[in-house]
Amino acid sequence: MIQRTRGLVLVGLMTLIIALVATFPARTAFSWASPPFVSMSGIQGTIWNGSAREFQTNGVYLRDLQWHARPLQLLTGKVLYQVTASPVSGFFDSEIALRLGSRVTLRNLTASVPLEMLARASGVRGLRGNASLQFERLELVSGRPAAMVGIIEASGVVVPPLSRASLGGYRAEFSTQNNGIVASVEDTDGVYDLAGSLRIGNDRSYQFLGKIMAKPGTPTELRSKLDTLLPADEAGRKELRFDGVY
């Protein structure tokens, strides 16, 4: 009889613990464990299924965030969510895995976002346009990129230091190496002929090296500005170089 009573008590305690975990409020969890570089408001639901009115981290702003957990993935030592959200314009959809140590991995990421969201990361003030993202994998540590495998295609790019008119479209394809992230960059329908490479180091340094030249259809104003800013080689190509720490 005593053993049966103990068994019933144990089952009751387990049921209570499961119920508490299954209904644990997302608002409480976020207030306890949110990293300093992330802010959310209008949080509703539980840690397993919920939503937030606004989400922001490192200059990235999303609205109407919704998440749905996949509990079976807990057996692999990670918390896995399917997440959808809305930027100021466009959409965001990704599978997101959370691990200890402020490590977040996004897989099968598809998104369409305004380039303004990437202005802080790129270091280009006033950057405007639209970006389409398709990433097989994007890994962030404390909000900073640690691994990237995917493509960003930008259209209607505006870079105020060069021109307030559109510079057209460009494409960057990212991959990960031992010493950091690398990307090949080229124009798709840009007003300039551009080809170059971007390297993002594990020490948070970045460097872009490329060649740029005017096309037959490049507006006179942009052609003159390019001639003024950069010297050309014998083929008429000009070297671009940007580097720094983000």
pLDDT digits (tens, 9 = 90+) for 131-177: 999 999 999 887 788 899 999 999 999 887 777 888 899 999 999 98
pLDDT tens digit sequence for 52-85: 898 887 778 889 999 888 765 555 556 788 999 9
Retrieve residue 152's tokens: 């960003």
DSSP for 75-98 reads GGTSEEEEEEEE-SSSEEEEEEEE
Q: Give the bridge partners for 176, in sequence order.
A: 181
Taking a C-beta distance cutoff of 8 angstroms, is the pair 39, 57 a contact? yes
Fill in the DSSP letter of residue 222: H
pLDDT tens digit sequence for 23-42: 556 777 777 667 777 888 88
Task: Using pLDDT thresholds of 50, 70 and 90, give the confidence band for residue 186.
Answer: very high
What share of the chain has pLDDT > 90, as a percent? 27
The answer, yes or no, to whether residue 12 has pLDDT greater than 60, is no
The long-range contacts involving 190-198, CB below 8 angstroms and separated by at least 24 positions, are 190/157, 191/166, 191/167, 191/215, 191/217, 191/218, 191/219, 191/222, 192/167, 192/168, 192/218, 192/222, 192/226, 194/170, 194/240, 196/240, 198/172
pLDDT tens digit sequence for 214-223: 898 888 888 8
CA distances from 108 to 82, 180, 242 (A): 10, 21, 30
Tell me the pLDDT of the chain averaged across its residues: 80
What share of the chain has pLDDT > 70, as a percent? 80
Task: Using pLDDT thresholds of 50, 70 and 90, give the confidence band for residue 207.
Answer: confident
Contacts of 59 (CB under 8 A, 6+ apart): 117, 118, 119, 120, 121
Task: Using pLDDT thresholds of 50, 70 and 90, give the confidence band for residue 7.
Answer: very low
Residue 134: predicted pLDDT: 96
pLDDT tens digit sequence for 76-114: 556 788 999 988 888 999 998 877 666 788 999 999 999
Residue 24: predicted pLDDT: 58
Query: Quick one: which H or E segment has residue 191?
Result: none
Q: For residue 189, which amino acid is it?
A: D
pLDDT tens digit sequence for 173-184: 999 988 889 999
Q: What is the mean pLDDT of residues 212-237?
A: 81
Handedness of CA 44, 48, 54, 57 (dihedral sign): positive
Residue 101: predicted pLDDT: 60
Fill in the DSSP letter of residue 62: E
Nearest to 206 by CA among 119, 105, 122: 122
Task: Using pLDDT thresholds of 50, 70 and 90, give the confidence band for residue 225.
Answer: confident
d(CA 10, CA 1): 14
